[in-house]
Structure formats: structure tokens, C-alpha cells
Amino acid sequence: MMHSASRTTTLAVPRAMRRPRDRALHVPLVAVVLLASIAVAAPWLAPVPPNQIPSDGLITASSPTMAHPFGTDPLGRDVLSRVLYGARVSLGVGTLSVALAVGFGGVIGAVAGFMGGVVDTVLMRLVDVLLAIPRLLLLLVVTALWESLPLSGLIVLLGLTGWYDVARLVRADVRALCGRDFVAAARAAGASPARVLWRHLVPHLQPTLLVLGTLGLANAIVLEASLSFLGLGVQPPQASWGSILGDGYVPGGRRWWLTLFPGIAVVSSVLTCNALADALRRRFDGRQVGV
């Protein structure tokens, strides 16, 4: 509480003198765009339709050949095509559910942080209660009980169970921001609470939301894959990385191609998302004015 706390920092290095920003953001960004492009372009990239069961030949899982570079699954369907189409499902479900989670959590958090008092307490205790319910267990139970879950249902489910952290962090950000002088200045200028919230607080939430979003996406991909692996998420015959993995599950590793290729897909997506989140965080740490 000392006066003039911002007088000079001990290492009085002016802003212009800091290290140049490292280019770490470009690599994960390109990777993400690449993944998304592959998913979008699946119909053109896939050699055969993903659900096509061979009319001739054996209806059996076979290891990779020239005709089927990733092999076939137990129903004879081409795994490469299924992985490509699976990208659409996995990434699509992931992205949409995260968008829902971030949007919903962001609103709750902003309202709680801004209004404070009773509203804040009620909302945050609600979050506390919801956090006490293990997410995976809840998802397992709901998807198990729900007969033939549609994709949209899966998205909503993932979204509504994934907003708690966002709410908390956004609330913390908003509370910190509210104490800043420029917010007081806006109030002193006569700005209404709505204006203060929209014009002065929300723009500063971008970094947090972006980082949480990318991390959430990684998480959502894994969750969807887990559920589909158990047969509870994406329903057959629709391909998802998790379901391909599930189809391939045979103890002893005899059908290794059914594990390796979708596995690589999941791992690389998750790593890319995490790398992007990290790069974003580092980029924003340098830029943000101390939120």
C-alpha cells in the first residue's frame, strides 16, 4: 500500500528494451490450421467412403496394404478413410463443445465478478458443487443411459460439463480488472455498468478465453475419444478416433494398426492444442498490462 508503487521498478528497463517476441506462436498455429484443413477436406482426401463395407472380399480386419494404407477394421472398412472422417467428428465435437463451455462459463464468470455480493457467492458456490461431480463419471453415466445419443447431444453434454474452470478464471480476471484505475476512470466519466462491462472489461478477457479454449479443446478431444472408445459417445457406424480405437481393442496387440493410427491422430491433436495454448499464453504474458 505504499505510495508510488509504480514509480520505478528496480530493473528499470523500459518496455522497448525487452527481448523480441519469440516466434513460437507460428508453429502450433500452422499445425492447428493443418489439422482443421485435413478435417474439412476429408471427403476429398479419403480414398473410399468411410462406412463402406466391402461387398466382395473378406469382412475382417487386415493389416496395412497398398490398397488400404492404414489397414481395415473388423468390418472391412478402410481405416484411413475412417481416420480422416473421424477428424471431422473429433475436432468438430471438440470445437463446438468448447465454444459452448467458454461462452457459457465466460458469461457466468463475468456476471459473478462484476456484480459481486450475493450473486457472486451464489454462482460460485454453484460452481463448487458442480465441480465436485467427477466429469468423466457423469459423462459415462449419462451417455450410458441415453439410448442412441445424437452428436448434438454429445456436444451439449461436453459443453455443459466443461465451463466451471472458465467461470472461475473469468471471474478472477474481472475482479482484478475492476480494481484498475481505468475502470474507475470510466465510472467517473459517467459510463453505465453495461458500458463499463462491455467496453472496458470484456476485451481484456480475450487472452484468458483463448488459452482456456485451446486447452479445453485438447481435453474435449480426449473425452470424446474416451467415450467413443467405450461405445458411449459417437454411435456406429459414424467414425470417430475413439471408436476406431475401440473397434481395434484386442488384447495382445494383434490389431496394432487399429490402435496406432487413430492413436497418433489423437495424440498429435492434443499436443498441438496444448502447444498452441502455451504459445498463446506466453504471447499474452508479454503484452497484457498485468491482468
Partner 1 sequence: MSATPLLSVRGLTRDFVQSRGWWRGSTQRVRAVADVSFDINAGETLALVGESGCGKTTTGRTILRLIEPTSGQITFDGDDLLALRGEALRARRRDLQIVFQDPWGSLNPRLTIGETVKEGLLVHRLASGRAADARVEELLREVGLRPEFARRYPHEFSGGQRQRIGIARALAVSPRFVVCDEPVSALDVSVQAQVINLLRDLQQRRGLSYLFIAHDLAVVAHMADRVAVMYLGRIVELAPRRALFAQPRMPYTQALVSAVPVPRPGGARSRILLLGDPPSPVNPPSGCGFHPRCFHPAKDERCRREVPVLEQKAPHHWVACHHAPVDAASPTPSLLP
Partner 2 sequence: MTQPLLTVHDLRVTFETETGPARAVDSVSFTLHAGETLALVGESGCGKTLTALSVLQLLPDGGHLAPTSRITLRDQELTELAPGTLRGIRGREVAMIFQEPMAALNPVLRIGDQLAEVVRAHTEASRDEAWQRAVHMLERVGVPDAPLRARQYPHELSGGLCQRAMIAMALLLDPALVIADEPTTALDVTVQAQVLDVLRAQRERTGLALLLITHDLGVVAELASRVIVMYAGQVVEEAPVALLYDSPTHPYTAGLLAAVPTLDVERERLPDIPGTVPAATAWPAGCRFRDRCAHAWERCAIDAPALTQVAPAHRVRCHLVDEPERRRA
Q: Kindly list the residues in this chain that would bind partner 1 in the complex (CB under 8 A).
A: 1-7, 15, 180-182, 184-192, 195, 199-200, 203-204, 289-290
Q: Please, are residues 79 and 141 in contact by the beta-carbon 8 Å criterion? A: no
Return the DSSP state at 202: G
- 118's contact among partner 2, partner 1, none, with CB below 5 to 8 A by partner kind, is none
Does 287 sit near partner 2 (CB under 8 A)?
Answer: no
For residues 11 and 137, which CB has a smaller minimum distance to partner 2 in the complex? 11
Distance between CA 86 and CA 38 in Å, rounded?
11
For residues 23 and 287, which CB has a smaller minimum distance to partner 1 in the complex? 287
Distance between CA 15 and CA 211 in Å, rounded?
24
Least distance from partner 1 to the Cβ atom of residue 216, Å: 24
Does 5 sit near partner 2 (CB under 8 A)?
Answer: yes
Cell numbers found for residue 214? 485451446
Burial (Cβ within 10 Å: 0-12, 13-18, ≥19) of residue 291? middle
What Cα–Cα distance (Å) separates residue 131 from each residue in 95, 142, 162, 166, 174? 22, 16, 10, 12, 21
For residues 137 and 194, which CB has a smaller minimum distance to partner 1 in the complex? 194
Instruction: Name the packing angle between helices 79-115 and 257-287 (round to 10°).
Output: 30
Does 145 sit near partner 2 (CB under 8 A)?
Answer: no
Least distance from partner 1 to the Cβ atom of residue 177, Å: 10
**Stretch of residues binding partner 2 (CB under 8 A), selected from 15-23, 123-131, 168-176, 183-191:** 15-23
- 191's contact among partner 1, partner 2, none, with CB below 5 to 8 A by partner kind, is partner 1
For residues 9 and 55, which CB has a smaller minimum distance to partner 1 in the complex? 9
Does 179 sit near partner 2 (CB under 8 A)?
Answer: no
Closest Cα to residue 68, out of 80, 56, 52? 80
- 65's contact among partner 2, partner 1, none, with CB below 5 to 8 A by partner kind, is none
Helices vs. strands in the chain: H and E counts, helices first: 12, 0
Which residues in 217-289 belong to E strands, given as ranges? Answer: none
* Single-letter code of the amino acid located at 204: H
- 290's contact among partner 2, partner 1, none, with CB below 5 to 8 A by partner kind, is partner 1
* Single-letter code of the amino acid located at 172: A
For residues 9 and 148, which CB has a smaller minimum distance to partner 2 in the complex? 9
For residues 19 and 117, which CB has a smaller minimum distance to partner 2 in the complex? 19
Return the DSSP state at 72: B
* Greatest distance between any 2 Cα atoms in the chain: 83
Least distance from partner 1 to the Cβ atom of residue 117, Å: 13
Distance between CA 28 and CA 237 in Å, rounded?
32
Least distance from partner 1 to the Cβ atom of residue 180, Å: 5
For residues 186 and 260, which CB has a smaller minimum distance to partner 1 in the complex? 186
Does 19 sit near partner 2 (CB under 8 A)?
Answer: yes
**Which residues of the shown chain bind partner 2 in the complex (CB under 8 A)?**
2-5, 7-14, 16-21
